[in-house]
Chains A and B, each alone.
Chain A
Amino acid sequence: MVNSDLTILVIDENTIRASIIEEGLHEAGHLHVSIIHEVNGVARIIETLKPDVIIIDIENPNRDMMEHLFQLTRTVSRPIAMFVDRSDSSLIEAAMDAGVSAYVVDGLKKERVKSILDMAVSRFNAFSRLQRELAEAKSALEERKVIERAKGILMKMRGLSEEQAFALLRQTAMNEKKKMADIAQSVVTAAGLLM
């Protein structure tokens, strides 16, 4: 709850990830958190919000636009620099690996930013883990479906029982050193061509 007076702006085109970060920051006691999903009009938002920390995803090509903005605002005396302290390179590397970058108002103490950045990094990582798991679950489901279809085709065309069809697919996969789903897919494709 120590840092609750800091104003944080999160820019992320991914709405789900943005809300995961927002939640994390709230839990850590940061009450002044704003989220935007696109950078259009960000200049005005920064002017009015005067954020101490800006968190932006690295895959956003509009980062270069922010750089330009900071060049301009510098002349209006709002110095913003990335990463307060270059000495903490492990944190910076972790941030870049996770896909987070941050802009921090010059002069803000390192310790105050570190916890925010740590939080963003762990949430970004959690989000990509979640996405990976989801993708894996999806593909497992797809694989099961195609195996079911191949089994059905073999049962019908070669008069096999369900167990025999399954055993045939598994044996072929082992012989050819391929995944069962790949063999099943070939069966489905071939059947599509032949029937």
Chain B
Amino acid sequence: MLINRDVGELAAPPSARGKAQRLLRAGFIPLVDASVLIAASEFGFAAKEGLTLDLVKDVSWSNIRDRLAFRQFDIAHMLSPMPVASMLGLGSNPSPTITPFSLGRGGNAITLSVNLFERMRNTAGLTENAGALANATALGKTIGQMRERGERLLTLGITYPFSSHNYELRYWLAAGGIDPDRDVKLVVVPPPLTADALQAGAIDGFCVGAPWNMIASERGVGRIVAAKQDIWPMAPEKVIAMRPDWADDNSDTVSRLIVALDAAARWCDRPENHEALAEALTDQRFIAAPVEIIRQVLAGDFSLDAKGNRRIIPNYFIFNRGFANYPKPGHALWIYSQMIRWGQAEFSETALKAAAEAYRPDLYREALGTGPAGEDITMEGNDYHFLDRHLFDPTNMRSYVDNFAVSALKTKTSGGRIA
């Protein structure tokens, strides 16, 4: 017996050799888009794969980034542009970071103060149910009027310099002819403080994830003027991030994790599970927001303001459908295009390659044995439109970025957009 066991040990495959890591410390920020990670831990999907997730709530994306880099976390809930920024060496502590799994699409929205929205209605004759683009144009007109009268610049909140919120807010503003670096002032506000900051008049609007837009509108201080779906429905929102060396050393664990997250994502997508999910998310350990608000968010049932104007956004949250969890390198390249557009990064072939490598579909396919048909880098914007109806051709990055009427590349020569 003894001899047999020894032989068995010698013959063991690499994954069984040594101690495979089964307890994973996972950092997260309290947001509804952490649902899949939380559900994996709370509803047995991780346990089924022999994994235990130790979920650690954190207060800032900078902390998440640093704690992942310095091994306090094994995996983390991260903004989709963060691994791209890390691979490009951007930010104050860039350290190699990859993602093999996206946590889904949707969840973001842009909210302006009710006073500002009222002014936009008066200035531009907006209808009650104007679309996202009409709202942006109306804001442009209002900013023009404010400038004529010598009023202060509007201040708008984002959550992090390398965030979908930053790029989505900028995309929306620019589509309305507003230069985000000259015609408004962008500041960072931690998500849980956005509704308070709006109420206190410290900011005039913000772009943030759920449930904070809904909380501002329910309180009667904010008016939702655009949702992520209006800007580009396909953009990945949050991802599961890890260090590439850790992923190499723990390939079996990574596969198990992806299987568990995939099962949890399917579960989260089914409406009949939303009640249980909302109950779990409302816990102090997780989001600690009122359960009714989380229910409404999951249903995409939006109160646009406190007057009772509603908008149902189908697919406001997509946790799994349509390969929403697939980390598509073409999406990482779209993020890179926006970094170039706004002067955070410069174009180079090397950087292009590095950006695409932040997203690791190979790990996803290896674990699940499936993935979407078609290439990983394709033309985007045909089926699911961008707000301004541009098409993104990742193989022609330069002309894509040059074709935007509003961008930091143009601001350099022309000054602000709005005269």
The answer for the CA separation of A93 and B159 in the assembled complex, in Å, is 26
Chain B residues near A66: list those with CB within 8 A: 62
For window 47-79 of A, CB contacts with B under 8 Å fall at 58-71, 75
> Assuming A64-B160, A92-B70, is B59 touching A83 (CB within 8 A)?
no
What's the minimum C-beta distance from B406 to chain A, rounded to whole angstroms? 18
A71, A81, A101: most-surrounded residue (chain B CB, <10 A): A71
- Count the B residues whose beta carbon is within 8 Å of the partner chain — how many? 27
What's the minimum C-beta distance from A41 to chain B, rounded to whole angstroms? 12
CB–CB A65/B59 < 8 A: no
User: Which one, B185-193, B252-260, B267-275, B313-321, is touching chain A?
Assistant: B185-193
Map CB proximity to A onto B325-368 as digits: 1 under 8 Å, 0 otherwise: 00000000000000000011000000000000000000000000
> Assuming A58-B63, A93-B70, A101-B66, is B92 touching A68 (CB within 8 A)?
no
Chain B residues near A81: list those with CB within 8 A: 92-93
Chain A residues near B193: list those with CB within 8 A: 61
Is the CB of B392 closer than 8 A to any CB of chain A?
Answer: no
The answer for the CA separation of A96 and B68 in the assembled complex, in Å, is 11
Chain B residues near A70: list those with CB within 8 A: 92
CB–CB A82/B190 < 8 A: no
A61, A86, A101: most-surrounded residue (chain B CB, <10 A): A61
CB–CB B343/A82 < 8 A: no
The answer for the CA separation of A75 and B93 in the assembled complex, in Å, is 17
Is the CB of A89 closer than 8 A to any CB of chain B?
Answer: yes
CB–CB B70/A67 < 8 A: no
Is the CB of B386 closer than 8 A to any CB of chain A?
Answer: no
> Assuming A75-B343, A89-B70, A96-B66, is B93 touching A64 (CB within 8 A)?
no
Beyond contacts A63-B62, A65-B188, A93-B71: 18 other A-B pairs, Cβ-Cβ < 8 A, are: A60-B59, A60-B60, A61-B190, A64-B159, A64-B188, A64-B190, A67-B160, A67-B188, A68-B160, A69-B188, A71-B91, A81-B92, A82-B66, A82-B93, A89-B70, A93-B72, A96-B72, A101-B62
**Across chains A and B, which 3 residue pairs bring their CB atoms closest together, nearest first?**
A61-B190, A68-B188, A65-B188
Q: Which residues does A use to contact B, with CB under 8 Å?
A: 58-71, 75, 80-83, 86, 89, 92-93, 96, 101, 103
> Can you list 25 A-B pairs with a CB-CB distance of less than 8 A?
A58-B63, A59-B59, A61-B60, A61-B190, A61-B192, A62-B190, A64-B61, A64-B62, A65-B188, A65-B190, A66-B62, A67-B61, A67-B160, A67-B161, A71-B91, A71-B344, A80-B92, A92-B70, A93-B72, A96-B66, A96-B67, A96-B70, A101-B63, A101-B66, A103-B92
Q: Which residues does B use to contact A, with CB under 8 Å?
A: 59-63, 66-67, 70-72, 91-93, 95, 158-161, 186-190, 192-193, 343-344
